[in-house]
Amino acid sequence: MSETFTLVITGAPYSSQAPQTALGFAKAAVDAGHQIDRVFLYGDGVHLASALCAPPSDETHWPDEWSRFLTQHKIPGVACIASALRRGLVNETEQKRYELPSANLRAPFEIAGLGEWVEGRIKSTRTLYFHAGD
Amino acid sequence: MSETFTLVITGAPYSSQAPQTALGFAKAAVDAGHQIDRVFLYGDGVHLASALCAPPSDETHWPDEWSRFLTQHKIPGVACIASALRRGLVNETEQKRYELPSANLRAPFEIAGLGEWVEGRIKSTRTLYFHAGD
Amino acid sequence: MTDIQTLHILNKSPDHPRAARCVEMMSAEDGLLLTGNGVLLLARGNLLPGASKVFALIPDVEARGLGDLSGNVSSVDFAEMVTLSLQAQRVISW
Amino acid sequence: MTDIQTLHILNKSPDHPRAARCVEMMSAEDGLLLTGNGVLLLARGNLLPGASKVFALIPDVEARGLGDLSGNVSSVDFAEMVTLSLQAQRVISW
Amino acid sequence: MTTLIMIDQPPYGAWTGREALDMAFSLAAFDQSASLLFTGPGVNWLRQTQHAGGIEQKSVEKNLAAAPIFGMDAILADRAACIAYGLDEHSLIEGVTLVDADADLLTDYDHTAFAG
Amino acid sequence: MTTLIMIDQPPYGAWTGREALDMAFSLAAFDQSASLLFTGPGVNWLRQTQHAGGIEQKSVEKNLAAAPIFGMDAILADRAACIAYGLDEHSLIEGVTLVDADADLLTDYDHTAFAG
C-alpha cells in the first residue's frame, strides 16, 4: 500500500549527518512505491538549500544530491522562511524585500512558512525528523 | 599593559550565542586598551560572515554588528576557507573559481586558511574560543 | 517484523543527555532504531533497553566499525527503516 | 583578584557531557568562568567544583533569572572577563 | 491529532528552543492541538524574572505567557528536572503543569517532535 | 608552545571532529607542536575497521594514520572512555597512547582547544 511521508530536516550538511540519513530514507521510501508529500527544512537544516556550497571534490555534494532527487521525483522542498532569513538563505523575492546584495537559494527549494510543515503533517501517514547528532 | 588577543568563533549566529559573547568580550578588550590581532571564524562560525542574514527587525543583527566593530577598529576578520566553502560562504574570487551563481561574504570579512589561526595564536597573548552552547 | 507501539529513532551518542532520556521514556512495547552516532549504544551494551526491540542502521554501524557487536540487535537497511516507520503506531526522532 | 593557573570557560549546560568533563579536569588552583548556558550550573549547586574559584558572567546570569543564586560565586562583567583571561596562565574554552 | 513539542535545551544559548516554540504556536494557529513539554535543562525556560536585555535577546517568559491565548493546550514540565534545577511553585512562571516525563505520557499524543 | 586539541564528539555524525583534526594538522604543518586527545564518545575515532563508504564519507582511520607522518606529537585517548566503549589494544588503531584525562594532563600543554 502506498503511504505518504513528510520529511523535516533540521541538521545542516557538513555540520551534521542529517541530510545524508534523510536522503537515504527518502530514496528507499520512493523505491518502495511510497509518496513524499514534501521536504521541510527547519532551523540549521535550511543550509541544505544553499546554492553556494563548494565541498571538496572527493566529498558528496549534499545540496546537489538533494536538488537532483527532489527535481527528479517532483517533490516540493521548502525552507522555513523565519529560519532562512535569520541564517542568510534568500531567494530573489526576499533579496529585493530586504535589499540584500544577492540571492543564494538553490532550485527547486522554495521559501515558505511553518504552515507548510503543519499541512504536510496532516496530509502524511508519517512525519519524520532528521536532526543533527551530537 | 596592552596585550593582544586572537578570537576564534565556532558557533553560528541565530543558532548559538557565540558571536554575541565574543563581541561583548572584544568590545571590553578594546575598551581596556588591548589589541585584537584578528577574529577567525571556524566551522559553523563562518555563517557570521554572511551578507544575506535578515533577522526580524526587533532582533540584533549580529553579522552587521560584527562588521561595524571590525571596520571601526581595523581588525581583520577571517573565515576559514575550508569551513566556508563547505557551508556556502564565498567571496567573488571563490564564486568564479567554483562557478557559483553569486557571492555572499560580508565586508570586511576575508577568506583564508587555518594558517591565519596558527599565526594569530603565535602573535597573541591569549587566543580565546567562542563555541556553540548546547 | 512484529508490532511496535512507538518507534524511537535515536541518532545521538550514548553520552548525549537525549540518549538517556530516550531510553528512559521507552516502554516494553516500543522499538528503538539506532542511526548516526546513536549506533554507538551498541558499544555500551549495558545501556541498551532490556525489554524493547533494538534495530541499527547498517551503513552507520559499518562506518563506526561496530559490525561484530550487534548481538541480538537487528541490522536494518533504509528500506527496512521505511517499513518500520510505517509499522509503528508512531515515530519519535530524538 | 588572585592567581589562577588555568581559567576554564564553560558555556554548556550542566547536563552537557562537556560540563562534567570540565569540572573533572579542574585543579584547586584553577578558576571556572560560567558564560551562556554554563551559568545554569549555579542552579545545581551540588555540581559546582568545591575547591576552585567560580565566576559567572552577569548578563548571562540575569537573562536566565539566576541573580539571587550566586552565593559565593563572583559575578563578572566583560571587562573583568578580559582581566581574568590575562591573569590566568592559560585559558580553556569548553 | 494531538502533538507534543519537547524542549530539552535551555533558553538563550541556542535557538532550537525558540524554534520549537514557533512550531507549537504554528500548530495552534492552524487549530491543531499542541502542548509543550520541558525536560532536562529545558525547564529553565520556565523560571521567573528572566532579564535578557543584557544579552540583546527577548525574554522568553513573555513568549510563554502568550501560549494559552494562542490556543496552546498545556505547558508541561518534567518534575524531576524542575527539582534538579531548583524550580518550584515560587520560582516557576504561571500556568505550568508538573508531570513525570515517562513512556505513559508519550502515549497521550499522536505526534511528538523536537525542533532540532 | 605545545597545543592539545581535544575531540569529544564521535566521528561521522558531526564535522567538528574532522575540523579539530584539520587544526592539529595545520599546527604541525607550521612546525608547531600539537597532540590530539580523544575523550568521551570521541574515542570511537580510534576504532579499527571503520567502513564509511555506505554513508558516503571518508573513513577517519586513514586521516589518523597520517598523523605521525605529518609531525603530530601524539595521539592520546582517555583510558576510562576507551573502557566504556569496549576499546582495547585489539580494537584500537595503532599509535594511540592511553592516558588519564585529568588536571595534570592539561598542565603539560600551553594551549588546549576544541574545534567547536
Query: How many residue pairs bridge chain D and chain E with CB atoms within 8 Å of each other?
Result: 63
| pLDDT range class, residue F98, cuts 50, 70, 90 | very high
Q: Provide the pLDDT for residue B69.
A: 98
Interface membership of A17 toward C (CB under 8 Å): yes
Interface membership of A69 toward C (CB under 8 Å): no
Q: Which chains touch B (3 or more CB pairs under 8 A)?
A: A, D, E, F
Is residue D48 a part of any domain in this protein? yes
Catalytic residues of B, which ones? Answer: 80
CA dihedral C5, C9, C10, C11 (to 10 degrees): 180
Q: Provide the pLDDT for residue A1.
A: 77
Q: How far is F20 from chain D (nearest CA, A)?
A: 14
**Paired strand residues for B70:** none
Stretch F19-35: mean pLDDT, rounded? 96
**D65 with E47: Cβ contact below 8 A:** yes
Task: Decide: C94 and C9 in contact? Cβ < 8 Å.
Answer: yes
pLDDT at E58 over 90: no
Q: Provide the pLDDT for residue C71.
A: 67
Q: How far is A95 from chain E (nearest CA, A)?
A: 23
Query: What's the grid cell of residue A35?
Result: 509518496
**E32 with A10: Cβ contact below 8 A:** no
Query: What's the grid cell of residue F85?
Result: 566503549
Structurally, how many domains does chain D consist of? Answer: 1
**E15 with B60: Cβ contact below 8 A:** no
| Active-site choice (A22, A29, A80, A84) | A80
Q: How far is C43 from chain F (nearest CA, A)?
A: 5
ipTM of the complex: 0.97
Which residues of chain B make contact with F114, given a CB cutoff of 8 A? 10, 129, 131
Map residue E89 onto helix, strand or coil.
coil
Structural domains of chain E, with CATH: 2-115 (3.40.1260.10)
- pLDDT per residue as tens digits for the range A100-131: 999 999 999 999 999 999 999 999 999 999 99
Sort strands B35-41 and B77-80 into parallel, antiparallel or unpaired. parallel
Interface membership of A114 toward E (CB under 8 Å): yes
> pTM to 2 decimals?
0.97
Instruction: Please tell me which of the candidates B14, B17, B60 has its beta carbon nearest to residue E13.
Output: B17
**C62 with F9: Cβ contact below 8 A:** no
pLDDT at B44 over 70: yes
Minimum mean pLDDT among A84-88, E69-73, F18-22: which range? E69-73
Cell 565541498 sits at which residue? A55
Q: Is F11 exposed, middle or buried (0-12, 13-18, 19+ CB in 10 A)?
A: buried
**A90 with B54: Cβ contact below 8 A:** yes
| pLDDT range class, residue C72, cuts 50, 70, 90 | confident
Peptide bond preceding A108: is omega within 30 degrees of 0, i.e. cis?
yes
Is residue C82 a part of any domain in this protein? yes
Q: How far is D93 from chain E (nearest CA, A)?
A: 15
**F107 with D5: Cβ contact below 8 A:** yes
Instruction: Please tell me which of the candidates F9, F54, F84 has its beta carbon nearest to residue C63.
Output: F54
**D78 with B134: Cβ contact below 8 A:** no
Which residues of chain F make contact with B118, given a CB cutoff of 8 A? 26-27, 30, 32
Vertex E105 angle, CA E101 and E107, to 5°: 145
pLDDT at C1 over 70: no
CA dihedral F19, F25, F28, F33 (to 10 degrees): 50
Average pLDDT, chain C: 92
Stretch A20-48: mean pLDDT, rounded? 98
pLDDT at D51 over 80: no
| pLDDT range class, residue E1, cuts 50, 70, 90 | confident
Task: Decide: D29 and D54 in contact? Cβ < 8 Å.
Answer: no
Cα gap A16→A1, rounded to integer Å? 33
Vertex E81 angle, CA E77 and E85, to 5°: 115
- CATH for C73: 3.40.1260.10
Q: Which chain D residue lies closest to F6 (C-alpha atoms)?
A: D94
**F55 with C65: Cβ contact below 8 A:** no
Instruction: Please tell me which of the candidates E40, E52, E86 has its beta carbon nearest to residue D63.
Output: E52
Which residues of chain C make contact with A129, given a CB cutoff of 8 A? 93
Map residue F13 onto helix, strand or coil.
coil
Is residue D85 a part of any domain in this protein? yes
Stretch F35-58: mean pLDDT, rounded? 93
**B82 with F22: Cβ contact below 8 A:** yes
Stretch F69-95: mean pLDDT, rounded? 94
Q: Which chain F residue lies closest to D94 (C-alpha atoms)?
A: F114
Is residue C19 a part of any domain in this protein? no
Contacts of B21 (CB under 8 A, 6+ apart): B130, D11, D35, D36, D57, D60
- CATH for B56: 3.40.1260.10
Q: Provide the pLDDT for residue D5.
A: 94
Which residues of chain B make contact with A104, given a CB cutoff of 8 A? 52, 88, 101-102, 104
Which residues of chain E make contact with A42, given a CB cutoff of 8 A? 19, 23, 115-116
**B54 with A85: Cβ contact below 8 A:** yes
Stretch F51-59: mean pLDDT, rounded? 88
C-alpha closest to that of B75 among B116, B109, B111, B46? B109
Q: How many CA atoms lie within 13 A of A122 on its CB side?
A: 11
> Residue B124 belongs to what domain range?
4-130
Q: Which chain F residue lies closest to D11 (C-alpha atoms)?
A: F116
Q: Which chain F residue lies closest to B11 (C-alpha atoms)?
A: F116
**E40 with C30: Cβ contact below 8 A:** no
Q: Provide the pLDDT for residue C2.
A: 60
pLDDT at C36 over 90: yes
- Cα distances (angstroms) measured from residue E48 to each of B115, E66, E97, F75: 46, 15, 15, 47
**B85 with A44: Cβ contact below 8 A:** no
Kindly report the backbone phi and psi dihedral angles of residue E7, in degrees, each rounded to the nearest multiple of 5, phi listed first.
-125, 110
Q: Provide the pLDDT for residue A92.
A: 98
- pLDDT per residue as tens digits for the range D53-89: 999 999 999 999 998 766 679 999 999 999 999 999 9
Average pLDDT, chain B: 97
Q: Provide the pLDDT for residue F59.
A: 84
Q: Do chains F and D touch (3 or more CB pairs under 8 A)?
A: yes
Interface membership of C15 toward D (CB under 8 Å): yes
Q: Provide the pLDDT for residue E96.
A: 95
Instruction: Please tell me which of the candidates A18, A28, A131 has its beta carbon nearest to residue C82.
Output: A28
> Residue D63 belongs to what domain range?
4-8+32-93
Structurally, how many domains does chain B consist of? Answer: 1
**D6 with F106: Cβ contact below 8 A:** yes
Interface mutation target, options D80, D82, D87, D92, chain B, most CBs of B under 10 Å: D82
Helix/strand/coil percent split, chain C, to 5: 40, 20, 35
Stretch B39-56: mean pLDDT, rounded? 98
Interface membership of A10 toward B (CB under 8 Å): no
Instruction: Please tell me which of the candidates F26, F111, F114 has its beta carbon nearest to residue B127.
Output: F111
Vertex E8 angle, CA E62 and D12, to 5°: 95
Interface membership of B83 toward E (CB under 8 Å): no
Q: Which chain E residue lies closest to D64 (C-alpha atoms)?
A: E50
